[in-house]
Structure 1
Amino acid sequence: MADITQAGIFSKPNAAAAPAVLRTLLDWLDRRGVRVRMDENTAAYADGAAHGLSREEVPEGTQIVIVLGGDGTLLSAARAVGDREIPLFAVNLGSLGFLTAITIDEFIPELERFFDGERKISKRRMLHADLERAGNISARYGALNDVVVTKASIARMIEVEVLINRHKMCTYRADGLIVCSPTGSTAYSLAAGGPIVFPTVEAVCITPICPHMLTNRPVIVPSDVEITIVNQAPDESAYLTVDGQVGEPLQQGDRIHFRRTAHFIHLVRPPHMSFFDVLRQKLKWGET
């Protein structure tokens, strides 16, 4: 990687720890002669000392993107980075945080290691989803974690059909359906009873949410297959959500087509920490 001359910064809104962390970060980058591009949340923490950009603009021309927040902030940053494959350095200002594994106490030493060339990058493939309505593609989405079709009303289940390579797999009657990447297997899918998938496994997990049939279990398929969800629920009875952050109501007959992206999101990980270290820490494995 070329020398780092410009960094992007994304921040979680209303994070009590963010102003102090940002001041430390900006001072450190300034001593290194690194220019900064920041989103509007970060600019607000900087007391108006800098101009905030839209999240889509921040990664342009940067060699690293630093995320101050939790997994939600990182997911938003990942979609903004898109196919640029710029390393994402995520500092955990929240609590759980499977993706934001670097703590406040560790972030300056870990940043120094990265700038000095001691770099451990975890490559995570994203999901691409096309929403087809009345025969036309009406929206395109990228997801690092998952795409979810869920019920929009309080009590009713929804009905969706799933096709794999255009062959029918199953019709689910459930509260919803999750299609997740290996990265997203420790998010909503895990809470819904899905398996934990090692991040580099080339697979996609299809996890029903509270299915009517108890035999409807999570299914793991190769990442190179074409997955299609056909919404059979009445108009606006189902809702499409991407990474828990963006989405829209669905119409009856809408189709969501999934495929893996050709590019990867590059997450900076502490050199001493493995995926299983994170699982033990976050899931409290082995504790009494």
Structure 2
Amino acid sequence: MRFGMSVNMNIPDAPRMAKRTLELLKGHEVLLEKEMAERFKTKGHRLEDMEVDMMVTVGGDGTILRALQHNNAPIFGINAGDLGFLTVVSEEELEEGIENVLRGSYELEERIKLQTTVGDKRMMDAMNEAVLHTAHVAKIRHFQVFVDGEMAMNVRADGIVVATPTGSTCYAMSLGAPLIDPRVEALVIAPMAPFKFSARPVVVPASSRITVQVVRPKECVVVVDGQQELLMAGNETVEFKASPERARFVSFGKGFYARTREKLMGTLC
């Protein structure tokens, strides 16, 4: 197999764990990102140029999101951070995880990605969510949200979050949206700090076309997975829909509910 590797060098333990991973992958070709390659005095590569069978990430969820913005290879996520909800192994599980990958004893779990278009500008696909919010602190905006042409929300709020099932455990969850099993083909729309209590998160089919307009246009910002940001004048229509591309994650059989209990709810749930 041919592997790519992306490492968050800002996490203290990540370089050491990456070195151990390289030792376990000895005999297989591994392409390193430039910053990591410099440390090992070898040739570095850009993520988007890596033609690999699998992308190994060492860091947290942000490391995975960044890799997915630039490469569509299946993700094998090693947690070197705090939460690591999208990662598949911890440091203690690393050796067994690599052995399973090399034996082919794993499954690939597909996840919906979100496509965002602002006016005529297509943004990068989101694994978790896209956020449309006011460009100025403590200034609310008036948003109208349409689902397949029918108005679903007419609300004054700090912003609107549109999330995938994967993203339902992230920003959307903090806004009161439900957790969605990633096997469910759906998207969730959640207003941020709405000015009326009746404005609640809405779950819609993944086949839906969601459009958002800013009433009385004023500057807003669209942020995709915390990775890409676009300032808009406020008179553009923002469209969200499921991307034709899917993200793929290495899985060893641990289900969504077990991960949710362990990572988000603690051991008592």
Shift of 1:245: 1.7
CA distance in 1, matches of 2:266, 2:6: 31
CA distance in 2, matches of 1:225, 1:256: 14
1:105 correspondence with 2:92: yes
Shift of 1:262: 2.2
CA distance in 2, matches of 1:286, 1:17: 25
1:122 equivalent among 109, 115, 118: 109
Give the counterpart letter for 2:67 in structure 1.
A
1:29 equivalent among 5, 21, 25: 25
Query: More deviation in 165-174 or 142-151?
Result: 165-174
Q: Is the 8 A contact 1:160 1:233 kept in 2?
A: no
Q: Is the 8 A contact 2:111 2:247 kept in 1?
A: yes
CA distance in 2, matches of 1:101, 1:90: 5
1:73 equivalent among 30, 47, 63: 63
Aligned length: 269
1:39 correspondence with 2:39: no
Tell me the C-alpha RMSD between the 2 structures: 1.6
Structure 1 residues 252 and 284, CA gap change in structure 2 (3 angstroms): closer
Shift of 1:169: 1.9
3-state SS of 1:224 partner: coil
Structure 1 residues 108 and 286, CA gap change in structure 2 (3 angstroms): closer
1:267 correspondence with 2:254: no
Shift of 1:99: 0.7
CA distance in 2, matches of 1:155, 1:40: 40
CA distance in 2, matches of 1:120, 1:248: 36
1:10 correspondence with 2:17: no
Structure 1 residues 108 and 233, CA gap change in structure 2 (3 angstroms): farther
3-state SS of 1:195 partner: coil
Shift of 1:153: 1.3
Give the counterpart letter for 2:60 in structure 1.
G
Give the counterpart letter for 2:209 in structure 1.
E
Q: Is the 8 A contact 1:8 1:64 kept in 2?
A: yes
Identity across the alignment (%)? 29
CA distance in 1, matches of 2:60, 2:19: 18
Give the counterpart letter for 2:97 in structure 1.
E
Q: Is the 8 A contact 2:24 2:98 kept in 1?
A: no
1:91 correspondence with 2:78: yes
3-state SS of 1:239 partner: strand
Runs of 4+ residues deviating >4 angstroms = none
3-state SS of 2:66 partner: helix
1:281 correspondence with 2:259: no
Q: Is the 8 A contact 2:115 2:125 kept in 1?
A: yes
Shift of 1:128: 0.9
Q: Is the 8 A contact 1:101 1:278 kept in 2?
A: no
3-state SS of 1:193 partner: coil
Q: Is the 8 A contact 1:39 1:52 kept in 2?
A: yes
Q: Is the 8 A contact 2:133 2:158 kept in 1?
A: yes
Shift of 1:27: 1.7
CA distance in 1, matches of 2:268, 2:90: 21
Q: Is the 8 A contact 1:102 1:269 kept in 2?
A: no
Give the counterpart letter for 2:36 in structure 1.
T
CA shift digits 1:5-46 (9 cap, x unpaired): x1000111311111211111112222xx211112234224xx
Unaligned runs of 5+ in 2: none
Give the counterpart letter for 1:222 in structure 2.
P
Q: Is the 8 A contact 2:25 2:98 kept in 1?
A: no
Shift of 1:103: 0.3
CA shift digits 1:121-156 (9 cap, x unpaired): 221011111111xxxx12332001000011221211
2:130 equivalent among 130, 147, 155: 147
* Superposition TM-score, scaled by structure 1 size: 0.88
* Superposition TM-score, scaled by structure 2 size: 0.94
Shift of 1:162: 0.9
Aligned residue number for residue 178 of structure 2: 195
CA shift digits 1:208-245 (9 cap, x unpaired): 11100100000000000111111336443x11000012
